[in-house]
Amino acid sequence: MAAPIRQSLFGVAKGWWRFEGLWAGSLGSRSLALAAAPSISGSPWRLLGAVCLQRPPLVSKPLTPLQEEMAALLQQIEVEGSLYSDHELRALDEAQQLAKKKADLYDEEGDERNILLVQDLEDAWEQKFLQFKPGARITEADKKNDRTSLNRKLDRNLVLLVKEKLGDQDVWMLPQAEWQPGETLRGTAERTLATLSGEFSASL
Amino acid sequence: MALAALGVSARALRSRSWLLGTWQTQIRDTHQRASLLFFWELIPMRAEPLRKKKKVDPKKDQAVKDRLKKRIRRLEKASQELIPIEDFITPVRLLDKARQRPPVELPFEESERRALLLKKWSLYKHQEHEKERDAIRTMLKSQQEALQELQLMSPELHAEATKRDLNLFPFEREGPDYTPPVSNYQPPEGRYHDITKVYTQVEFKR
């Protein structure tokens, strides 16, 4: 969660779980170079490969007030430019018949046809909708602010960070591993992923 | 005359079915028969024996085949029918005038409000687009810089890093929904009948 939202959001666009060991490694070695034996002969730099493990958002972000207004306006415009649907026609007919009945004040045999009113149908549909319980957008992990669960902040892109010691300080950073001669940086990243403890399923 | 009429009626009543049927009809209308002179009516004497299949039939089959071939040739010559795009054909029931809404007359404030909102929205979308573009640009720039550094450090690793990853495409991903999936959801039971029309265009090859 250290990375700014905008930047990490577009790192997501490449896959469900994705790691990029290529450039993260050299940047890491640049900033955290320690006095250890150089892996590449002749160069003073230590090469580390890191993994950027992401959990992309499961849920869409809440709309801003402007977006809400615009959505409402678009809906209004669409309705104004549309034709009446079967349901609406039926409602109009029934309203006319009711008005007639009140005006004329005599019972027709039209009751046989209109046992089920439009209002009854709508009530039934409303009841059915209320029976369905959708998943919660704000989960329990959010409320407890449990930083180790995957179920938190469903509308954001989450990145895995690991706490490691560098010299005297404890630093939260991407999980990384030393590059070994003979493997590519991508191989280093895969090895890092394999050595992470915990239960998760991730793929390229 | 009466006897003849009786005979005619007896013959009419007699069904065309074979032995048993004819016997049954005889038994039924025996009370109508006047005398034993009508004995010859009892036995069906007028039926024709079964004809043997003559050589006319192969010619008939040949004629039928020729007709079919002619039909096929005619279909091939005629221009092929294109598959209709059902979205472009308005169903007849929607052309009804009763379906049309009365035209809405917006008050002045409402139209003003709409115009201002649309302007704000276009500005917002423009800013959003700029932000996205800048974000992508910075990411690409940092990627290029990192690859440059890698090149300086070890050309072999750089070469391997710039290779194409064939597992990237085809890329499929389902976007975020409004609510997360429910873990123990039981979908309602039942079957559905798929009534989508499937058109096939047959290509006639010669």
Residue B182 token pair: 């429910």
State how far the Cα of A34 lies from the Cα of B97, in Å rounded to an integer.
81
Residue whose structure tokens are 């580390």: A48
Mean pLDDT, to the nearest integer, of A26-34? Answer: 32
Residue whose structure tokens are 């990384």: A176
Asked if B180 contacts A133 with a C-beta cutoff of 8 angstroms, the reply is no
Please report whether residue B2 resides in a domain.
no
Closest to A57 (Cα-Cα) out of A19, A5, A20: A5
Looking at the predicted structure, is the pLDDT value of residue B148 above 70? yes
Distances (CA, A) of B188 to A123, A124, A148, A200: 20, 17, 35, 31
Length of chain A: 204
Mean pLDDT, to the nearest integer, of A39-63? Answer: 84
Q: What is the pLDDT of residue A62?
A: 93
Length of chain B: 206
What's the mean pLDDT when you consider all of chain B?
82
Mean pLDDT, to the nearest integer, of A7-17? Answer: 31
Contact: B180, A47; criterion CB under 8 Å = no
Please tell me which of B20-29, B52-61, B135-144, B155-164 the model is most confident about, judged by mean pLDDT.
Answer: B135-144
Q: What is the pLDDT of residue B121?
A: 97
Mean pLDDT, to the nearest integer, of B149-162? Answer: 90
Contact: A6, B135; criterion CB under 8 Å = yes
B106 to chain A: closest CA residue: A80
Interface of B with A (CB under 8 A): 94, 98-101, 104, 114, 117-118, 120-121, 124, 131-132, 135-136, 138-139, 142-143, 146-147, 149-150, 153-154, 157, 160-161, 165, 167-168, 171, 173, 176-182
Helix pair A118-131, A86-104: axis angle to 10 deg: 140
- Percent share of chain A, pLDDT over 90: 26
Please report whether residue B133 resides in a domain.
yes
Please report whether residue B152 resides in a domain.
yes
Q: What is the pLDDT of residue A5?
A: 30
Nearest by CB to B180, from A58, A80, A84: name it: A58
Q: What is the pLDDT of residue A160?
A: 87
Looking at the predicted structure, is the pLDDT value of residue B20 above 50? yes
Distances (CA, A) of B24 to A50, A59, B21: 100, 83, 5
Nearest by CB to A45, from B114, B153, B168: name it: B153
Distances (CA, A) of A111 to A106, A121, A128, B152, B171: 12, 17, 26, 88, 58
Mean pLDDT, to the nearest integer, of A19-34? Answer: 34
Is the previous residue joined to A44 through a cis bond, with omega within 30 degrees of 0? Answer: no
Give the lowest-confidence range in B119-133, B169-183, B190-204: B190-204
How sure is the predictor about B18, in pLDDT bands with cuts at 50, 70 and 90?
Answer: low
Q: What is the pLDDT of residue A111?
A: 57
Please report whether residue B60 resides in a domain.
no
Looking at the predicted structure, is the pLDDT value of residue B42 above 70? no
Contact: A82, B101; criterion CB under 8 Å = yes
How sure is the predictor about A30, in pLDDT bands with cuts at 50, 70 and 90?
Answer: very low
Residue of B179, B182, B186 for testing the chain A interface, max A β-carbons within 10 Å: B179
- Separation of CA A107 from chain center: 58
Closest to A81 (Cα-Cα) out of A73, A89, A92: A73
Q: Which residues of A touch B164 (CB under 8 A)?
A: none
How sure is the predictor about A32, in pLDDT bands with cuts at 50, 70 and 90?
Answer: very low
Give the lowest-confidence range in A87-101, A175-189, B46-60, B83-97: B46-60
Q: What is the pLDDT of residue A116?
A: 85
A189 touches chain B (CB under 8 A): no
Please report whether residue B33 resides in a domain.
no
Mean pLDDT, to the nearest integer, of A170-195? Answer: 86
How sure is the predictor about B205, in pLDDT bands with cuts at 50, 70 and 90?
Answer: low
Looking at the predicted structure, is the pLDDT value of residue A1 above 70? no
How many structural domains does chain B have?
1
Domain containing B152 equals: 129-161
Closest to A161 (Cα-Cα) out of A47, A13, A50: A50
Top-confidence residue, B14 or A48: A48
Handedness of CA A146, A147, A152, A153 (dihedral sign): positive
* pTM, 2 dp: 0.64
What's the mean pLDDT when you consider all of chain A?
76
Mean pLDDT, to the nearest integer, of B135-155? Answer: 94
Looking at the predicted structure, is the pLDDT value of residue B142 above 80? yes
Count of Cβ atoms closer than 10 Å to residue A54 Cβ: 23
Please report whether residue B105 resides in a domain.
no
Contact: A10, B153; criterion CB under 8 Å = no
Q: What is the pLDDT of residue A6?
A: 30
B130: left (phi over 0), alpha (psi -120 to 50) or beta: alpha
Please report whether residue B27 resides in a domain.
no
